[in-house]
A and B are shown apart, each in its own frame.
Chain A
């Protein structure tokens, strides 16, 4: 499990690799808390994530809160089948843009 970040203008991309679970907690948090204030849009790149559990869902909610709650612009992109399924069961498309 590892996390990589990149900033492009006002957009922060966080790429998650491997199992996205509680072990990623601190690293994931650092990824968006340590970026500067100019960031307006957030992209979570799941192309290399194999799985996520409920604590990962919790971390996504924390990010959404950090990004402005109901006015947050957070996109979750390139999910594989398993990851997509978990996001769908939890009806997270009501809170995030899932591409």
Chain B
């Protein structure tokens, strides 16, 4: 007897043959159903769902081969073994049986042992087929589920790492992920001051494990940039976050750029990325920018170094940034694209406007059909006058004339805090509680930034602004600044804010007092402070933002006022 009885269909028009066979099969312990011709066999197949079919070849109405064709076609993917019963001896005839969809044949008269062995063998095969089918369905269900989850996750991911202001006219970019998720990140955002932060990152590996770290990175980048934090603070924060969340051995190669349209300058921090190229518009010369830091997420906060490099740029100078996917892309021979080929594109290029497309096309031609094995990112950013990229879009949706309007605050920075801490986000945060001022946060940021750097650099540190009149002096200025910072031990800058309501809106008075020696301001009108080239104290800029500016004391106190009109805002 068998463990699990099978349901076996026996189709034979010869009654005695049918009965003999049914008796043998029943004796083995299986269930039997019977048919007298092909038509009945097909009908029984549908009603009884047999596990194995024993089918006579020659039958009236529909012969065995026709029945086999029909049964196999309705069975589809399910396995229904058909064993032909035949007294045929001719090899061609027997082969025909198998061609019509039969799985085996059994010649009359029946040999019980062979019959039993065949039933057992097909039973095993059916079982295996069934298990395979189940497992395949399970895998396909899992896969469908996973693809769906990935799509949802991808939507969340895209929202968090949204492209920021990559659509500005001075930026060209290409992101080409190797799988659904991208281990490369490319972020760009305007600062309240109108400058721009750009970040290109390449996480270890690719796909989901690489992409997941991009989410906190993007959150920090966009959040802190919008609040007016400087590059130094943002990089520190990202580094300590990644160090905390990424397993050891996983990190992110990053380049962050602070591009100031007003100062026509970029400030660059690079860790772990291949050299970037700075293309000078006038001469066509290429300057290489090299990584000087470890990737983010490797060092602890204490060991982290946020030192940056500054480059002054002229109009239409272009910075090209890329992930290592460009240089390390391979052709079908397995050769690397390499830096030499990249440099050749720059050397052979005639039209700077076409260079970006040239790089993309050359790399694509090189890799050809062989495809790629890493995420690839390319970015070009061009120095243009601020007017070409437009004003910073500050969210004005926070309601109008509520919030604090009548208040005074004093904020003094001393010693090391003065040297290292950036007070602007904190102060901007407080000013932004006045809804009307929130809408002006771009101008306010610029205003406070200019006044603060004047008070600190020219006031406390006593640096001369005349130095900044050319590119060489500009570098000298920053060198002197470093030195003066080191030797400074006391010194302070005090901000006093005073906000009062007026009939039409409000009036903000900001007084900045520094501990420095001041300067001879008597007799100079605001519009007489020079601001040509690199030098000056940004006074015309300040004047363009506020209503009045006056120097007091020995030149160490500056007082500006800015009034706002509720009506004007509502329009």
Q: What B residues does A65 contact at CB under 8 A? A: 248-249
Contact of B294 with A by CB under 8 A? yes
Q: What B residues does A22 contact at CB under 8 A? A: 205
B27–chain A nearest beta-carbon distance, Å: 57
A54 near B298: Cβ-Cβ < 8 Å = no
Query: What is the CA–CA distance of A56 and B298 in the complex, to the nearest angstrom?
Result: 14
B249 near A61: Cβ-Cβ < 8 Å = yes
B266–chain A nearest beta-carbon distance, Å: 20
Known: A91-B291, A91-B292. A62 touches B248 (CB 8 A): yes
Segment from B8-16, B268-276, B377-385, B395-403 that makes contact with A: B268-276
A55 near B294: Cβ-Cβ < 8 Å = no
A58–chain B nearest beta-carbon distance, Å: 3
Total contacting residues, chain B, CB less than 8 A: 23
A90 near B272: Cβ-Cβ < 8 Å = yes
Query: What is the CA–CA distance of A70 and B302 in the complex, to the nearest angstrom?
Result: 12
Q: What A residues does B205 contact at CB under 8 A? A: 22, 54-55
A94 near B272: Cβ-Cβ < 8 Å = no
B249 near A90: Cβ-Cβ < 8 Å = no
Residue of A nearest to B328 (CB): A53
Contact of B250 with A by CB under 8 A? yes
Residue of A nearest to B274 (CB): A89
Contact of B26 with A by CB under 8 A? no
Q: What A residues does B253 contact at CB under 8 A? A: 54, 90
Contact of B515 with A by CB under 8 A? no
Chain B, 107-165, CB within 8 A of any chain A CB: none
Contact of A31 with B by CB under 8 A? no
Q: What B residues does A61 contact at CB under 8 A? A: 248-249, 251, 298
Known: A54-B204, A54-B253, A55-B205. A90 touches B248 (CB 8 A): no
Question: Which listed residue (A62, A70, A90) contacts B294, Cβ 8 A?
Answer: A90
Question: Which listed residue (A53, A59, A70, A92) contacts B249, Cβ 8 A?
Answer: A59
Q: Per DSSP, are chain A's interface residues mostly helix, strand or loop, or mixed?
A: helix
B298 near A62: Cβ-Cβ < 8 Å = no
A95 near B291: Cβ-Cβ < 8 Å = no
Query: What is the CA–CA distance of A90 and B272 in the complex, to the nearest angstrom?
Result: 4
B182–chain A nearest beta-carbon distance, Å: 15
Chain B, 37-63, CB within 8 A of any chain A CB: none
Q: What B residues does A90 contact at CB under 8 A? A: 253, 271-272, 291, 294-295
A55, A59, A89 interface centre (most CB from chain B within 10 Å): A89
Query: What is the CA–CA distance of A5 and B144 in the complex, to the nearest angstrom?
Result: 45
B251 near A58: Cβ-Cβ < 8 Å = yes
B473–chain A nearest beta-carbon distance, Å: 31
Residue of A nearest to B373 (CB): A53
Give the total number of A-B pairs whose CB atoms are below 8 A apart: 50
Q: What B residues does A55 contact at CB under 8 A? A: 204-205, 249
B269–chain A nearest beta-carbon distance, Å: 12
Contact of A7 with B by CB under 8 A? no
Query: What is the CA–CA distance of A90 and B295 in the complex, to the nearest angstrom?
Result: 6
A57 near B204: Cβ-Cβ < 8 Å = yes
Q: What A residues does B202 contact at CB under 8 A? A: 54
A36–chain B nearest beta-carbon distance, Å: 22
Residue of B nearest to A25 (CB): B249
B536–chain A nearest beta-carbon distance, Å: 37
Contact of B293 with A by CB under 8 A? yes
Q: What B residues does A54 contact at CB under 8 A? A: 202, 204-205, 253, 324
- A49-78 interface code vs B (CB 8 A; 1 in, 0 out): 000011101110110010000100000000
Residue of A nearest to B250 (CB): A58
Residue of A nearest to B291 (CB): A89
B293–chain A nearest beta-carbon distance, Å: 6
Residue of A nearest to B293 (CB): A91
- B405-428 interface code vs A (CB 8 A; 1 in, 0 out): 000000000000000000000000
Chain A, 14-70, CB within 8 A of any chain B CB: 22, 53-55, 57-59, 61-62, 65, 70
A80–chain B nearest beta-carbon distance, Å: 14
Q: What A residues does B294 contact at CB under 8 A? A: 90-92, 94-95
Residue of B nearest to A64 (CB): B248
A22, A94, A95 interface centre (most CB from chain B within 10 Å): A94
B51–chain A nearest beta-carbon distance, Å: 46
A91 near B204: Cβ-Cβ < 8 Å = no
Q: What A residues does B324 contact at CB under 8 A? A: 54
- B271-286 interface code vs A (CB 8 A; 1 in, 0 out): 1111100000000000
Query: What is the CA–CA distance of A92 and B291 in the complex, to the nearest angstrom?
Result: 11
Query: What is the CA–CA distance of A57 and B298 in the complex, to the nearest angstrom?
Result: 11
Question: Which listed residue (B204, B275, B290, B298) contacts A95, Cβ 8 A?
Answer: B298
Query: What is the CA–CA distance of A90 and B251 in the complex, to the nearest angstrom?
Result: 11
Q: What B residues does A62 contact at CB under 8 A? A: 248-249
Q: What A residues does B292 contact at CB under 8 A? A: 91
Q: What A residues does B293 contact at CB under 8 A? A: 91
Q: What A residues does B290 contact at CB under 8 A? A: 89
B295 near A58: Cβ-Cβ < 8 Å = no
Query: What is the CA–CA distance of A61 and B204 in the complex, to the nearest angstrom?
Result: 12
Give 13 A-B contacts (CB < 8 Å), ordered by A residue. Answer: A53-B328, A54-B202, A54-B204, A54-B253, A55-B205, A57-B251, A59-B249, A61-B251, A62-B249, A89-B273, A89-B275, A91-B294, A95-B298
User: When A and B form their complex, which 7 residue pairs have the shortest distance between CB atoms, in order from nearest?
Assistant: A58-B249, A90-B272, A62-B249, A61-B249, A91-B294, A54-B204, A65-B248
Seen from chain B, the residues whose Cβ lies within 8 Å of a Cβ on chain A are: 202, 204-205, 248-251, 253, 271-275, 290-295, 298, 303, 324, 328
Please name 5 further chain A to chain B contacts, defined as beta carbons within 8 Å, in addition to the given A65-B248, A90-B291, A95-B298, sorted by A numbering. A54-B253, A65-B249, A90-B271, A91-B291, A91-B292
